[in-house]
Amino acid sequence: MEKLITCTAANVSTDDGIVLQGNGADQWSITKKTLVGGVQTGVELLIVDNGLMQITIILTRGMSVLDIQWNDIRIGWDSPVKQVVHPNFVNLEDQGGLGWLSGFNELMVRCGVAFAGHPGDDNGEFLTLHGRIGNLPASRVEVSFEEAPEPTIRVRGLVEEKRFKFGVFELWTELATVVGSDKITIHDRLTNPSEYSQEYQLIYHTNFGRPFLEQDAQFVAPVKTLAPLNEYAAEDLATFQRYLGPTSGYGEQVYCATMLADPQHWTTTMLHNADASLGVAVGYDVQTLPYFNLWKNTDTERDGFVTGLEPATGFPYNRSVERAGGRVNKIGAGQSVDFSMSLQALTADGVAATNTAIQSLMGDRKTKLIETLASEQ
Amino acid sequence: MEKLITCTAANVSTDDGIVLQGNGADQWSITKKTLVGGVQTGVELLIVDNGLMQITIILTRGMSVLDIQWNDIRIGWDSPVKQVVHPNFVNLEDQGGLGWLSGFNELMVRCGVAFAGHPGDDNGEFLTLHGRIGNLPASRVEVSFEEAPEPTIRVRGLVEEKRFKFGVFELWTELATVVGSDKITIHDRLTNPSEYSQEYQLIYHTNFGRPFLEQDAQFVAPVKTLAPLNEYAAEDLATFQRYLGPTSGYGEQVYCATMLADPQHWTTTMLHNADASLGVAVGYDVQTLPYFNLWKNTDTERDGFVTGLEPATGFPYNRSVERAGGRVNKIGAGQSVDFSMSLQALTADGVAATNTAIQSLMGDRKTKLIETLASEQ
Amino acid sequence: MEKLITCTAANVSTDDGIVLQGNGADQWSITKKTLVGGVQTGVELLIVDNGLMQITIILTRGMSVLDIQWNDIRIGWDSPVKQVVHPNFVNLEDQGGLGWLSGFNELMVRCGVAFAGHPGDDNGEFLTLHGRIGNLPASRVEVSFEEAPEPTIRVRGLVEEKRFKFGVFELWTELATVVGSDKITIHDRLTNPSEYSQEYQLIYHTNFGRPFLEQDAQFVAPVKTLAPLNEYAAEDLATFQRYLGPTSGYGEQVYCATMLADPQHWTTTMLHNADASLGVAVGYDVQTLPYFNLWKNTDTERDGFVTGLEPATGFPYNRSVERAGGRVNKIGAGQSVDFSMSLQALTADGVAATNTAIQSLMGDRKTKLIETLASEQ
């Protein structure tokens, strides 16, 4: 006789049930789950099923998007970190400020908002990698559905990043998706409830693995300027658009860019696979996200084969470098700043159409590849 | 059609029900709640309703008093930190030891007990702001009711601050209130269960905003000596009793004092509003709380318009400074030290009576204002 | 009238019920509990009752063994830390990397696995005392029972220690015990799922107090070499086998050893009381645990009267020292390393038999006592 069971301490979830759902033909739903076991215990998820895509939002991790299931394709990436880590198990200060990496496995995680980017000292204050906002739970979550003009599901979450005397921010995040569509849009509003103006930084760290990323996959975008983050990235500046397959010892190469945009300040970037049969488009409003960071991390499959397309308020250097470069803005007392981005799944036709749109944005302008490091701009 | 709902991830609480309640005419009760959502998740509260006042005690945050509802007046203050933050979301080591400020919004929070005061190095050990005791949950909580001599509700909580080889303390806190009264009393016993004597520090960080604090509000106390904490406080030494209204850029000024006491070692301090129609009295036993810190933080409304009346074992400098100044005591092996303080809400008559009592304590003695910094005493 | 009740915030547990149990004559069971109150809230325990011993495993603290009840004797020790501390209340980085000591009270806790030993800098990376694995919850727990060859209860738990780009480990722990026996065996498998080889360290920190430890208790083992950790330990090198009673100011003395083993690479060490009527044997496989640390901490009863018998991959110095001494191994990409140890409770006959077995292992070989510090080997 042998018995084998799995305790409730194992890696399972409770099903908290349907939060909201459609009636009739347009089947859609919003479901809530709470994870149980390991470093996941207590993590709350909302799964938004728009009929075509199942979008998983992590309420407990700053309203990050864990992944999107699109037909039989998972949009996201395979981090060696497999659990959806509760922030209580992430010590941001750990290992010289690298603790954030203990929980990093999302399709989209916001970095910020008092600071983002590299850990290190900024004028006597030690900043940890990518800030606190991605490891704070939403304190208020609202879901809504509107029939017109298009049947749209909306999930809003308030994430508060606050410390008496040292930074007080309220970030209302919003994720919207039209029923049956292959697209999500993010509209965030960052408010400074203080009576003092405050510096802020924000990076939309949006990450993709297979099947979009593979050998000879391409990054396509209306790049105005692009410079390497460091010397290692500079070595391969000329081939920044092309991806390698999984490469032992590759680590990462990061490029710091600005994009051309349409008259409505919207720009579109794209990653597509080698034969252009599959892709993802990341669009965003350059008015409040004037920079873009391309994170190429085509390391081994098991250690993280991934690339990040990252609209941002600046480059991922430490805030001290960013301030010196003029890329750190302030929000006035009681004021707000809005941010918008979108993520769309593309089949071959979509890849072709997006390519055309990007070429049209470029017109006859050429990308300016800058050989000096972005920190020296 | 539009639907709007609030998820259970939002900022709500479960009602765990009545813990204890009175019968018949003297209506009183003790209710327990557990907060849900955001950084509050899992925080347990006891609400003691003595018939006149509703006192909220945070079991999960070292038995702090969040606030007191007294008729239509809330005794407490409006911190920019709005949530009742679970200690698991407070990293005391963060930002050079300032993490404590992420959860600071209580009417009364104890600072200590291995150390309190400013962060920084003490002989090779890095101390974080105001110590650990305010961010540790009670491991045992008892409530009781006694009919005689006065009908009294009592809430006791054990908070253990322990680290193998590096500090072992047991703090039994007690909050008592007579049914129908406008007063609470705190009786705490700090025990050293170790077989070695141990240094300790304790500050009763007791904080008030409107309606007690306003422009021309007054601090009244039988001050024996008073010195500024630093040069900025020294600038306004002469007007230490008078408060400004909300003042942009004010930050904080702190004064370090000793008080005269009655033959039973009891002293009384008071904050009252501009026209002396409302006040709060903070009394305490000077035998084990020989010092008092006045924290004036009449900064903007939204960033924290607040003042602290703080009976303490010393001044809020780093323990290294306090030890050098002879203000750090030890508890012997197996020994205990008792601490007592009270907080009373006052209407115009009470303000007048307390004023008289304080003047009587002073007699013909004069406050000695010391111009040199308290750290140099 | 006086009422006294204990709130649910107090130090109690919910009984989650029987997980698995035997039928008929051989009574055994596995029960699960979740602790409530204080820094214990949410800690999950499995209590394995093999009919003779009740073994408490802490799922939430890396599958540590809290203690074993054996007849009327508790195998374990009395730490000043009384609660079973949830890892969310342990900040490993605290106090110069000593935070681990806030939760230390187990009979057996694993130290590792990216690093173990003393806190401090290792080539630019700050390492905290004894690593992370003892403060990570199991993400998967399985229990099983096998009738043949012996009726054996087995509890397996997966503990994942992972950080993107900075260490990815999976530790499958296993504790097995034969029904009715006085022994547990631990079989752990550490896997490196990465495509890069990784350094690892592991110490089985196995700790005993009374009634095994007392004045004139003895440590008996087939010691091949033994050296002091530091000068203080060197002072009493000659009497390393003999224990003092509780001794104020003793602190700790640590010795770093290697053991002789049988042809199957198994060795046995023992602690027995003064009159050899009671003992515990700690056996282990020296192939992957080539070192052994003897931690003598016969300090006062209330501050921790305890000794550790610790099979290990190295000595408890900082990893930088261990690497320089050639005691830090690597696991290849995708490879695993197995570790085995056992713990057996002994009455007088068992002590005598174990003594004989250890002498037989020694044969005519002599222990080499090394006077220079282990760090200089």
- Of the candidates B32, B146, B147, the beta carbon closest to that of C7 is on B32
Spatial neighbors of B293 by CB under 8 A, at least 6 apart, are B203, B229, B254, B255, B256, B257, B308, B310, B312, B315, B316
For residue B369, pLDDT over 50 is answered with: yes
Cβ–Cβ gap A38/C140 under 8 Å: yes
A168-173 long-range contacts (CB < 8 A, ≥24 apart) are A168/A192, A168/A193, A168/A194, A168/A198, A168/B80, A168/B302, A168/B303, A169/A113, A169/A114, A169/A133, A169/A193, A169/A198, A169/A200, A171/A110, A171/A112, A171/A113, A171/A133, A173/A62, A173/A63, A173/A110, A173/A138
The pLDDT score that the predictor gives to residue B19 is: 76
Is the minimum CB–CB distance between A193 and chain B shorter than 8 Å? Answer: yes
User: Does the distance separating the beta carbons of B163 and C95 come in below 8 Å?
Assistant: yes
Q: Is B6 on the interface with A (CB under 8 A)?
A: yes
pLDDT < 70 stretches in chain C: 1-16, 24-26
d(CA A296, CA B86): 37
Cβ-based neighbours of B275, under 8 Å, separated by 6 or more: none
pLDDT above 80 for A292: yes
Would an 8 Å CB–CB cutoff place A332 in contact with chain B?
A: no
What confidence score (pLDDT) does residue C27 get? 86
Instruction: Transcribe B159-183 into DSSP letters.
Output: EEEE-TTS-EEEEEEEEEEETT-SE
Phi/psi class of residue A124: alpha, beta or left (left: φ > 0; alpha: ψ in -120 to 50)? left
Write the pLDDT tens digit of every residue in B244-280: 999 999 999 999 999 999 999 999 999 999 999 999 9
pLDDT band at B347 (very low <50, low <70, confident <90, very high): very high
Residue A18: the pLDDT is 76
Amino acid at C352: A
Work out the minimum CA distance from A7 to partner chain C, whole angstroms. Answer: 6
The pLDDT tens digits for B32-62 are 999 988 999 999 999 999 999 999 999 999 9
Which SS3 state, helix, strand or coil, does residue B232 take?
helix
Percent over 70 (pLDDT), chain A: 95
C196 and A303 within 8 Å at the Cβ level: the answer is: yes
Question: Average pLDDT of A315-341?
Answer: 98
Kind of pairing between the strands at B223-228 and B253-259: antiparallel
Residue A13: pLDDT band with limits 50, 70, 90: low
Verify whether the Cβ–Cβ distance C5 to B16 is below 8 Å.
no
- Count other C-beta atoms under 10 Å from residue A291's C-beta: 21
Chain mean position to CA A307 = 11
The length of chain C, given as a count of residues: 377
Q: Do B137 and C6 touch (CB under 8 A)?
A: no
In this predicted structure, the answer to whether residue B65 has a pLDDT above a threshold of 70 is yes
Mean pLDDT of A305-320: 98
φ, ψ (nearest 5 deg) of residue C312: -160, 165
Task: Give chain C positions within 8 Å (CB) of B145.
Answer: 1-3
Contact A39 C137 (CB under 8 A): yes
Q: Can you tell me whether residue A216 is helix, strand or coil? A: coil
Among chain A residues, the shortest Cα distance to B104 is held by A164
Rounded Cα gap, residues C11 and C36, in angstroms: 6
List, as ranges, residues 121-180 from B with C-beta within 8 Å of A: none
The first and second tokens of residue C106, run together, are: 């187990």
Rounded to whole angstroms, how far apart are CA atoms C369 and B126? 38
Give CA B31 to chain center in angstroms: 22
* CB atoms C19 and A3 under 8 Å: no
ipTM of the complex in this document: 0.94
Joined tokens for residue C90: 């342990």
Q: Rounded to an integer, what distance in angstroms lies between the CA atom of residue B22 and that of residue C144? A: 52
State the amino acid at position C337 in one-letter form: V
CA distances from C212 to A206, C72, C278 (A): 57, 13, 6
Q: Beta-carbon neighbour count of residue B28 at 10 Å?
A: 20
* Residue C14 pLDDT: 60
Q: Please, which pLDDT band fits residue B170 given cuts at 50, 70 and 90?
A: very high
pLDDT at A7 over 60: no
For A61-117, write each residue's pLDDT tens digit.
999 999 999 999 999 999 999 999 999 999 999 999 999 999 999 999 999 999 999
Chain B contact probe: residue of A139, A145, A197 with most B CBs at under 10 A: A139
B227-to-A222, B253, B292, B372, C291 alpha-carbon distances in Å: 64, 11, 11, 7, 59
Across the interface, do C82 and B166 touch by the CB < 8 Å criterion?
no
Q: What pTM was estimated for this model as a whole? A: 0.96
d(CA A179, CA A21): 11
Looking at residue A14, its pLDDT comes to: 60
Q: Does C371 touch chain A (CB under 8 A)?
A: no
Q: Which residues of B touch A169 (CB under 8 A)?
A: none
| Beta-carbon pairs below 8 A across chains A and C | 125
Distance (Å, whole) CA C143 – CA C141: 7
Burial category of B120 from C-beta neighbours within 10 Å (exposed 0-12, middle 13-18, buried 19 and up): middle
pLDDT of residue A269: 98
- List subunits contacting chain A, requiring 3 or more Cβ pairs under 8 Å: B, C
Q: Where are the alpha helices (DSSP H) in chain B?
A: 94-97, 231-234, 301-304, 319-324, 348-362
Distance from C-alpha of A104 to C-alpha of A211, rounded to nearest angstrom: 20
pLDDT at residue number A107: 98
pLDDT at C377: 74
Q: Give C66 to chain A, closest Cα distance, Å.
A: 17
Q: How far apart are CA A357 and CA A355, in angstroms?
A: 5
Amino acid letter for position C52: L
Chain A 70-99, residues with CB within 8 Å of chain B CB atoms: 87-88, 91-93
Binned at pLDDT 50, 70 and 90, residue B8 comes out as very low
Query: What are the C-alpha distances in Å from B295 to residues B61, B344, B376?
Result: 22, 19, 19
For chain B, what is the mean pLDDT? Answer: 94
Of A146-160, A254-268, C342-356, where does mean pLDDT reach its minimum? A146-160
Q: Quick one: average pLDDT of A124-138?
A: 97
Sheet arrangement for strand C140-146: A2-6, C140-146, C152-162, C168-178, C183-191, C336-347, C278-285, C266-272, C218-220
Pick the residue of B7, B40, B41 with the most A CBs within 10 A to test the interface with A by mutation.
Answer: B7
C275: contact with B, CB 8 A cutoff = no
- CA separation for the pair B92, C94 (Å, rounded): 8
Looking at A32-46, A175-189, B357-371, which range is the least confident one?
A32-46
Give the number of other CB atoms < 10 A from CB of residue A231.
Answer: 8
Contacting A residues, span 295-324, partner chain C, CB-CB under 8 Å: 300-304
Neighbouring chains of C at 3+ CB pairs within 8 Å? Answer: A, B
Express each pLDDT in C239-284 by its tens digit: 999 999 999 999 999 999 999 999 999 999 999 999 999 999 999 9
Q: CB contact, 8 Å: C120 with chain B?
A: no
Token pair for B92: 């005391």
Give the pLDDT of residue A9: 42
Of C3, C96, C300, which has the smallest distance from its Cβ to B195's Cβ? C300
Cα C283 from Cα A353, distance rounded (Å): 68
- Judged by a CB distance cut-off of 8 A, whether residue A247 touches chain C is no
Provide the 3-class DSSP secondary structure of residue B352.
Answer: helix
Most B CBs within 10 Å, among A61, A195, A198, to test the B interface: A195
Rounded-to-integer distance, Cα A286 and Cα C130, Å: 47
Q: What pLDDT score was predicted for residue C25? A: 60
For residues B274 and B261, the answer to whether their CB atoms sit within 8 Å is: no
Residue A126 with chain B: CB contacts under 8 Å: 95-96
